[in-house]
Structure 1
Amino acid sequence: MISETGFSEWPDGLRIVMIAPPWYDVPPHGYGGIESMIAELVAGLSRRGHDVTLIGAGRPGTSARFLATCDTPPSERIGEAMPEVLHAARAQALVAGLDADIVHDHSLAGPLTADTRPVPTVVTCHYDVEGEFGEYYRALGETVSMVGISDAQRRSAPDLNWAGTVHNAVETSSFPFREDKEDWVLWLGRFNGDKGAHLAIDAARAAGRRILLAGKLTEQVEHHYFDEQVRPRLGADAEYIGEADAVGKRELLAAARCLLFPVLWEEPFGMVMIEAMACGTPVVALGRGAVPEVVVDGVTGFVRGDAGELPEAVEAAGGLDPHACRAHVAGRFDVEVMTEEYEKVYRRVIAGPAGPAEEPMSLALPAN
């Protein structure tokens, strides 16, 4: 039914089918930004009274009803076509046997089956949409309703069938807050050239600070980049410490003087930035993609246009207020904020063209 506000009301909550990518467990044991976001969203929706079924690979790890497409996530085959396609086919067979109000798909191949369903499909776009990904979603047309994870991402392909922007989020309280920081800096991510680990080492060294690097190093392309650009730069003041699990990641983020995030591509979001700030740790980053939407320049970190400006920002980061970093995440990037925004998207999509309109997207970069 429709309330006086124009939103559809479901007193008993929505029946939501959530489809994860096949590559990692939900939540992930180590690397897995998308999977972490899905786990948080499932928890938030369940707390708000919605009936959530999660389709993914591996074993159940959330409060949702779990249906598996395979027993073990094919992490070692990430990037190959067949695991993704097989996962999509099995997920569609599982969806067909469920009563649902809406399907929320985070996988890549899964949206190809959306037009076979009697209920709408929302797709969160976790990718850069300027190139082939944009062409893919453009070809899907109105069979799916797209959700951007930043306004910057949407601005790069404004003609896609966007239903809204919802920033990724974390359970702020699950990250330890630490006011007293140690004197080293941190880089955390996957060893892809676009993530700028080599620039992080250079910036820390120029600032006279020791840097720890913790990241995913499993794919061939990651090993190639690491051997070519990272390993030659390692030394007493630049140490690779392996991939951090959920507990280790939190300890590192809470202790670091700052997180370095010198991305060299139009990053659609960047989960590690809000994870760092939730711990009270400022972020020093290059202003690509969504970075200016996530970091408040001069308050929760520093956003710079050139790598040569990073060393000075690393030093200045020590003067920022950890409490401001934490409060920024709690107010804008907490899981409750994300969950409420996704509820609004679901309701708009289910209501159809006659439903309430989306708030207009800002076409300018937000002022910091």
Structure 2
Amino acid sequence: MVAPPWFELPPRGYGGIEAMCADLTDALVERGHDVTLIAAGRNGTRAHRMLRTYDLPQGPRLGEPLPEVLHAAAAGRLLDDLDVDVVHDHTLAGPLLARGRRVPTVVTTHGPLDGEPGDYYRHLGDSVHLVAISQSQRAQAPDLNWAGTVHNALRAADFPYRRDKEDWVFFLGRCTPDKGMHLAIDAAVAAGREIKLAAKCSEPAERAYFDSEIKPRLGPGVEWLGEVTGERKKRLLARARCLLFPLQWEEPFGMVMIEAMVCGTPVVTLRRGSVPEVVVDGVTGLVRDDAAELPDAIEQVASIDPRACRDHVIDHFQPQTMAAGYEAVYRQVLGATTPAPTTPLSSAPARQDMRPVA
């Protein structure tokens, strides 16, 4: 399991890919697999062994090319000495080293596939076996060398469930136009509801969007919280009347949707990207085609049963379900015909951390 170099596993705050890698690693170990993790920083997973490329995660350098390239080079050298059946790479640069490798390389495509990202995977050809995180994402580039589609997941037990909701709506995400925070504010104001806004806003483009579109909309009933993580984020998700998620792009998979639903909080959203695969319209939220329909949906959301929201996540987006999906992919690329196990096979042995290599 090759994780990106930016955040530790599991991340203490921001780091969606790292959270997914940590949950998948633990679920595979619980199902009886021997997992070696290549990552940066501390090992908070149940992997049998960890090989570090950096002593400290490189999050402060996110966006620079060198940490990603050095991480890929170090991981490639480590993999030369490992006896493994499959390499599962979650990085961008790492798959460049897959051609000629004696074992198959599975790559999860965590981002959009239009333009240059899609061309990148086309050039890799059959040297990697790609896994989409939604059918919507896969449809962006159906010609790629797909091995399967597996939705992301979370551990329901890590999130609080609350049936009784407070009378305000919540926006959670990044401070970018494609997340539609300005539309969420407008919808809440039109519905006469208070809205709380929690978003990452640290990069120049994020601050520019905040200054031009969000700051002028702040005032009574529109509360800016900044970036929230950990237990505070979970408590806010559980208390809110609904999560407002007015997407403005074809997002491959919005983790915030399943985070809200597992807390018993329905999602009011627009029909973009993976939304129809994640939210059951009328059961776990309300899916609309136009932002003008959102204020009315905020009022109608009271008819959604919070228990149905949580049950939907437990039934479809748990790490064991995700791990079973990836098991099927691993067996497919190995040419195996043995059915994948559906129940945990063993408990995890003690962790083993290896010496840093960079």
The answer, yes or no, to whether TM exceeds 0.5 is yes
Hey, what's the Cα distance between the residues in 2 that align with 1:236 and 1:32?
32
Equivalent of residue 276 in structure 1, options 260, 275, 279: 260
Equivalent of residue 153 in structure 1, options 134, 137, 142: 137
Deviation at 1:242, TM superposition (A): 2.2
Alignment map for 1:257-276 (pairs within 5 Å):
257-276=241-260
Q: Which residue of 1 aligns with 2:19?
A: 36
Q: Which residue of 2 aligns with 1:173?
A: 157
Provide Cα deviations, 1:89-108, integer angstroms capped at 9, x if missing partner.
11111222211110101111
**Residues 226-235 or 151-160, more deviating:** 226-235
SS in 1 for 2:335: helix
Higher-RCO chain (CA-CA 8 Å, sequence separation at least 6): 2
Q: Which residue of 2 aligns with 1:141?
A: 125
Provide Cα deviations, 1:129-171, integer angstroms capped at 9, x if missing partner.
1221111111100000000101111111110000001000111
Amino acid at match of 2:8: D
Deviation at 1:356, TM superposition (A): 9.0
Provide the TM-score with structure 1 as the length reference: 0.89
Residue 31 of structure 1 contacts residue 243 of structure 1 at CA under 8 Å; is this kept in 2? Answer: no
Hey, what's the Cα distance between the residues in 2 that align with 1:343 and 1:127?
22
SS in 2 for 1:69: strand
Residue 100 of structure 2 contacts residue 127 of structure 2 at CA under 8 Å; is this kept in 1? Answer: no
Q: Which residue of 2 aligns with 1:365?
A: none
Equivalent pairs: percent with the same residue? 61
The alignment of Structure 1 onto Structure 2 pairs a total of residues equal to 338
**Residues 137-146 or 23-32, more deviating:** 23-32
Equivalent of residue 178 in structure 2, options 191, 194, 199: 194
Provide the TM-score with structure 2 as the length reference: 0.91
SS in 2 for 1:250: helix
Q: Which residue of 1 aligns with 2:346?
A: none
Q: Which residue of 2 aligns with 1:4?
A: none
Provide the aligned C-alpha RMSD in A. 1.5
Provide Cα deviations, 1:12-43, integer angstroms capped at 9, x if missing partner.
xxxxxx11112211111112211111111111
Deviation at 1:81, TM superposition (A): 1.5
Deviation at 1:255, TM superposition (A): 0.8
Alignment map for 1:70-219 (pairs within 5 Å):
70-219=54-203
Hey, what's the Cα distance between the residues in 2 that align with 1:151 and 1:72?
35
Amino acid at match of 2:99: D
Hey, what's the Cα distance between the residues in 2 that align with 1:56 and 1:227?
36
Q: Which residue of 1 aligns with 2:296?
A: 312
Amino acid at match of 1:68: R
Amino acid at match of 2:22: A
Amino acid at match of 1:159: D
Alignment map for 1:12-91 (pairs within 5 Å):
18-64=1-47, 65-91=49-75
Structure 1 residue ranges without an equivalent (≥5): 1-17, 358-368
Hey, what's the Cα distance between the residues in 2 that align with 1:149 and 1:26?
19
Residue 253 of structure 1 contacts residue 275 of structure 1 at CA under 8 Å; is this kept in 2? Answer: yes
SS in 2 for 1:326: helix
Q: Which residue of 2 aligns with 1:336?
A: 320
**Residues 51-60 or 117-126, more deviating:** 51-60
Hey, what's the Cα distance between the residues in 2 that align with 1:221 and 1:106?
25
